[in-house]
Amino acid sequence: MAEDSGAILRHISSLKDMLDKVNEEIEQNIQRTREIESEIVKHSETEKHYLDKEYELAKEVSVAEFELNGLIQVAAAETDLLKVTEGNLEFQKVALNGIQKRLSDKMERFISESQGFQVNILGGSNEDLILLLKEKSALEDESENLKMKISTIHSSSKEYISEILEEVNTENSVLESEIRYKISEYTDVLKDINNLKILFTSSNW
């Protein structure tokens, strides 16, 4: 009888140990479940943060591309302006060549007529000679004025367009660097999000 009681007590003690072990495993599983739930919440918050960052970066890239397109349009407009200015300069050159041709013709006529005047220049009227000299002087003045105008227009146009193109090129370089940086950062965010998704999937298993 005493042996049966001892066996029963040992069996009860063994069952109690098994129950304690089961309870301990249940508690560990509950704790692990809580940890997994906490990790899921953290991953969800981190994923939301990266998604928000991805959205902001995509918006910044879009704005930078819009600004770059605007600068490209400005550069195109300035290029058109340069072409127009060059056309004006060509027109001024043609006008100057015309004046120089007229001056040359007048000079040839003057030389030709002056040879005839040399015979009677002391005894006759020299009004024609005076008129020719005045006309020659006026044409020379007009030629010099046109040369100065063309030189001024050419210099100012080149400096103005050079400054604009330099500014546009500088802004283009800055924007291109910024876009490359944003795209690189955007790619890193996508990689982080993908890694989080993989980690999240493995945690669920």
Q: Mean pLDDT score of the chain, rounded to an integer?
A: 72
Residue 180 in this model has a pLDDT that exceeds 80: no
**Residues 28-40, mean pLDDT to the nearest whole number:** 82
pLDDT value of residue 44: 77
The pLDDT-based confidence of 156 (bands split at 50, 70, 90) is low
Cβ 126 vs Cβ 117: under 8 Å: yes
What residue numbers bound the domain in which 17 lies?
Answer: 2-204
pLDDT value of residue 191: 74
Helices 127-204 and 2-120 pack at an angle, to 10 degrees, of 170
Alpha-carbon span 174 to 163, nearest angstrom: 17
Number of domains in the chain: 1
Residue 189 in this model has a pLDDT that exceeds 60: yes
The domain that contains 128 carries what CATH number?
1.10.287.1700
Cβ 68 vs Cβ 176: under 8 Å: yes
| pTM for this predicted structure | 0.40
Residue 17 in this model has a pLDDT that exceeds 80: no
Alpha-carbon span 10 to 6, nearest angstrom: 6
203, amino acid identity: S
